[in-house]
Amino acid sequence: GQQVANLTVVIDHQDMSLCLHAFVIARRRPEIGVVSVTDGNSGRAGVRARNAVDISPPQELSIETVRAVDKLVIALPKGRILDEAMPLVNAAGIIPEPAFDDPKSRLLRFGTNHPHIDIIRVRSFDVATFVAFGAAHLGIAGNDVLMEFDYPELYAPLDLGIGKCRLSVAEPESVAAGDDPRRWSHIRIATKYPEVTRRYFAARGVQAECVKLNGAMELAPSLGLCARIVDLVSSGATLLANGLKEVEVIAEVTSRLIVNRAALKTRPDEMTGWIEAFRKACGG
């Protein structure tokens, strides 16, 4: 109940981001008046953490700054998954500001009906990177992306059952007719998934030389870049339209809720609350 004048938090700069959360929690306590942070190693007073707040010299953090630092950021993938993901996000109780649905808007970060939650909209591969580095706390990403990066910082507690497709090997119909995959020893593959592709073929003794493309893989065989591709297949219409045949399935793919492991430790109630909200939203 009664305010104390100053609270100085001395921290090790290795633990800045953990400290910042302790600091934010401390700042919420009404009995604490002024909070300052001092780097225990350098003696430099200040905080440089995930959201790049710098307090130098030590000073009181305003409630506005604390709130800005404390925002929960959810990363969502652009493109067709977004149409399937938004009903779940809404059912979990998160409604983005109107600009989110405005195709003319150039905004990349959006407020929501929760003042402390923002949504960012990025490429599907980048969702995993933003969350792994702690720039976003939660995200939605396919297991294709998770397999490709294999980030240890990510935890995927929930299969959302959306974005169903498969990661497959395909080749021209004409090649497939006389091909025996058991005889491959060295193949060249155009793909957005070089790591998954190399690992998959290495496990059966085939050396896969990958040519990294970011889209329109289906063009590679007809233009002589690579005879084979590894790409996502959903309806199969893109393969068919380009004279290609699916010859092997590497993995079945669905979208997962992903969380940053450090955020799960530092903000356990909030993070597990949202995981549960998404679990209910997808009927799990």
With beta carbons less than 8 A apart as the criterion, state whether 77 and 85 touch.
yes
User: Which residue type sits at 146?
Assistant: L
Task: Look at residue 275 and give its three-state secondary structure.
Answer: helix
Among candidates 185, 183, 160, 182, which has minimal Cα distance to 277? 160
Q: Give the largest Cα separation in the chain, rounded.
A: 83
Nearer to ligand PRP, 10 or 240 (CB): 240
Q: Could you tell me the smallest distance in angstroms from the CB atom of residue 168 to ligand PRP?
A: 9
Residues from 224 through 253 that contact ligand PRP (CB under 6 A): 231-238
How many whole angstroms separate alpha carbon 29 and alpha carbon 25?
7
Residues from 78 through 107 that contact ligand PRP (CB under 6 A): 79-80
Q: Could you tell me the smallest distance in angstroms from the CB atom of residue 104 to ligand PRP?
A: 21
Q: Could you tell me the smallest distance in angstroms from the CB atom of residue 163 to ligand PRP?
A: 10
Nearer to ligand PRP, 2 or 235 (CB): 235
Residues whose CB falls within 8 Å of the CB of residue 52, separated by 6 or more in sequence, listed in order: none
How many whole angstroms separate alpha carbon 95 and alpha carbon 114?
8
Using rule CB under 6 A, residue 196 touches ligand PRP: no
Nearer to ligand PRP, 187 or 232 (CB): 232
Contacting residue, 57, 103, 205, 215, with ligand PRP by CB under 6 A? 215
Among candidates 241, 217, 242, 214, which has minimal Cα distance to 228? 217
Nearer to ligand PRP, 23 or 130 (CB): 130
Q: Could you tell me the smallest distance in angstroms from the CB atom of residue 87 to ligand PRP?
A: 19
Give the footprint of ligand PRP on this chain (CB under 6 A).
79-80, 215, 231-238
